[in-house]
Amino acid sequence: MTSVKEQEAIRKLMVFLQEWDSAHKVARSRILDNFIESNDGKTEPELELEFSQGASLFLARLTAWLRMSYMYSTCLDKLLKSIGIFLSAASGRRYLIEFLEIGGVLILLEMLGLNHLKEEDKRESVKLLQLVADAGRKYKELICESYGVRSLTEFLATSNSAEAQEDVQVLLESLGRSNPKYQNQVYKGLIAVLPCTSPRAQQLALQTLGGMQDVVGEVPSVLVEPVLGVLCSVHLEVQYEAIQLLKALMAHEVRPALLKGLVALLTPRRKKAFTFCDETTKGPTALRLREPVLVYIQQAAAAKAIGVLAKESAEVAEELIQLKVVHGLMVAVGNLDHVASQRHASISLEYFVHTFPFVEECVKKALGHTLFQHFMDSPEMWYTKMDPVQAEELASNIVDIPGDMARMQSRETSPGLS
């Protein structure tokens, strides 16, 4: 038999629920404000005490309203935060199960693809999905089985909110670990983000891919083209993350394809690279004459990446030489239309010259005594002293080092890291 105190608590709960049931949007918004203020951070026992052991009755109403109103952006931010109080409550696993039983995951994922919803609302949706994923492996699998990877990666690629993109990255990273059934799906989903137009999304995807190398096993060959493709980004932070990923990928079977692709980027096809405007063109579009085209940016980034990778491993350096990297670097040094290509190619070329005596001999022969001396004295600036004729000679050089020469012992027993 219930006590008078318990009966009074139950009566208050019923009054509260009836108030919610009969309230319209403005009144419900006020109720949610009060609920969030009073209950944020509470545990399951504390919530049950607050609702006289009937907290699930209010959660059921919240989830029902979410299911009916999420298409129309009705108090979504407050509604999602209120549901989050239940899902994040310590010892509140039953609240999570109740939310999932009404299709909560599918609703949250569908919200990410609705263009008319606010970025803040979508970010709250991602936070709730993170709470689901934090509950364990089977809950991560549930998100993935609900086409969650596709929804999350599409949102990452299209979101205008840096904070929301960072939350998605954390969630995808979580889904990619301790989730062997779907970790490869997460990995391939991140690869699909790389060609997008958002530099922040590219940066975060590259970071996450790099962090997954230790769990994903063999890397799919489909990764090669997108990773090399982001090297044309004008954003240095994207290029940096791409090079960091390339370093991690050197231990995998895709290494030969990546190295071959990098060397190829040093010598873009002239018909593709030399795109000039008509001389009679007037106005802002004429500025394209002096703007570095994307292939030049990619050429410079490839030259930089090659230097980094070669310094990390003598074996990689030798493979690059066999792929005719010296010829490619000299072509890039001769690119008077893009100083960054000249600088990065020159710095990388210096490493090969100092490390491999046979490379030094070939480069010295190709440059001639005077220009080679300028190169040795100041590899970061020597190209500024080249005239157009010398640059053209570099761009059209035919340096060809036999493959077996690359296997000869280098000047140093092991390349340095700087």
pLDDT tens sequence across 140-158? 999 999 999 999 999 999 9
Under 8 Å between Cβ of 187 and 176: yes
Share of the chain above pLDDT 90, in %: 74
Q: How far apart are CA 30 and CA 175, in angstroms?
A: 35
How long is the chain? 418
Per DSSP, the three-state class of 323 is coil
pLDDT of 414 strictly over 50? no
Identity of the residue numbered 64: A
From the list 236, 229, 233, 395, the residue with the least C-alpha distance to 328 is 395
Residue 93 token pair: 């696993």
How far, in Å, CA of 177 to CA of 302, rounded?
Answer: 31
How crowded is residue 365: how many other Cβ atoms within 10 Å of its Cβ?
11
**For residue 400, is pLDDT > 80?**
no
Q: What angle do CA 405, 408, 414 make, to 5 degrees?
A: 130
Find, among 276, 263, 269, the residue nearest to 310 by Cα. 263
Quote the DSSP letter at residue 43. -
How many Cβ atoms sit within 10 Å of the Cβ of residue 195? 12
Q: What digits encode the pLDDT tens for the residues 1-60?
A: 467 888 888 999 999 999 999 999 999 999 999 999 999 999 999 999 999 999 999 999
pLDDT of residue 356: 94
Instruction: Count other Cβ atoms within 10 Å, centred on residue 92.
Output: 23
Measured at the CA of 212, the angle between CA 209 and CA 216, to 5 degrees, comes to 115
Q: Extract the tokens encoding 58.
A: 């209010």
Identify whether the C-beta of residue 221 lies closer than 8 Å to the C-beta of residue 186.
no
The DSSP output letter for 399 is -
Tokens 């970025």 locate to 119
Tell me which of 245 and 396 has the higher pLDDT.
245
Global pTM value: 0.88
CA distances from residue 123 to 3, 118, 119, 129, 133 in whole angstroms, order as listed = 44, 9, 6, 10, 15
List the structure tokens of 375.
């190169």
